[in-house]
Chains A and B, each alone.
Chain A
């Protein structure tokens, strides 16, 4: 089950990428041992892709942005002052690269003004609900459900999609994502909350209980209770 995500807790795989070991690798690379760069970025390849796909949607474009971003990170590594922040610095470079790539392609993301309005606190209240109370838990394993979630995430405005992919999918901390995006932790928390609410709201039509489910639910119910209400 999902665990509390404090400002410091992250995915075990990420926590295991020991910071002091990472700093030692960075020192080696800056001393000219370039080949160690592969080792340095290996724990982050999936996260880098998540950051890029959050901006670009198209996997081929995201891959190219990751490649260019990784190369930039290598070239500018000696300029990284606080080597403990390598992870968020790398993510920031990839996100910026993805945004530049998008501009280069002259892509337009047609997102309405209200979708980017941070000040409107009304949109965190969903208009409809995906009622999964009565669905068997095995349903979570179904490809249909995964595909519906992927599609719902894809439809999110960029500011919500990018935080959802980095925080809920890649289990990065709010602090790391806030640093990478150049916004406050509070803004990231608000965005990820709205992203979750939108995803669950988008899934509502997909998982409306079928008529047969209603029949099943009515079994064992007192038939008179409906007449009285």
Chain B
């Protein structure tokens, strides 16, 4: 079975379905009995949800208009 350290190293790949079947089963077996790692998985998934909602940064007001008018005056 994988160690907590190995699981943490492969967590992103696991979330993205980018681990082979053998490692995937080992990780799932580990998660079924290790609360610490299942908490970690849950937390990283939530970070992904939040950072993926396009509000990780805010576009300045009028940014696009200024970009296009800058280009208009230079090209």
Known A4-B16, A193-B11; judge A131-B39 contact (CB<8 A). yes
Tell me whether B51 and A67 are in contact (CB under 8 A).
no
**Interface size counted on chain B using CB atoms at 8 A:** 43
Tell me whether B13 and A189 are in contact (CB under 8 A).
yes
Dominant SS among interface residues on chain B: helix
Q: How far is the CB of B51 from chain A (nearest CB, A)?
A: 4
Point out the residue from B8, B12, B51 that lies within 8 Å of A169, measured CB to CB: B51
Give CA–CA (A108, B59) in the complex, Å.
24
List the B residue with the shortest CB-CB distance to A71: B74
* Those of B13-69 within 8 Å (CB) of chain A: 13, 15-18, 36, 38-40, 42-60, 63-64, 66-68
Known A4-B16, A63-B60, A124-B8; judge A199-B47 contact (CB<8 A). yes
Tell me whether B57 and A197 are in contact (CB under 8 A).
no
Dominant SS among interface residues on chain A: helix
Q: How far is the CB of A80 from chain B (nearest CB, A)?
A: 16
Q: How far is the CB of A206 from chain B (nearest CB, A)?
A: 12
| Leading 3 A-B pairs by shortest Cβ distance | A193-B12, A4-B17, A169-B56
Chain B positions within 8 Å of A, measured between CB atoms, are 4-5, 8-9, 11-13, 15-18, 36, 38-40, 42-60, 63-64, 66-68, 70-71, 74-75
Chain A positions within 8 Å of B, measured between CB atoms, are 1-2, 4-6, 34, 37-38, 45-46, 49-50, 53, 59-60, 63, 66-67, 70-71, 74, 121, 124-126, 129-133, 140, 145-146, 149-150, 153, 164-165, 168-169, 171, 189, 192-193, 196-197, 199-200, 203
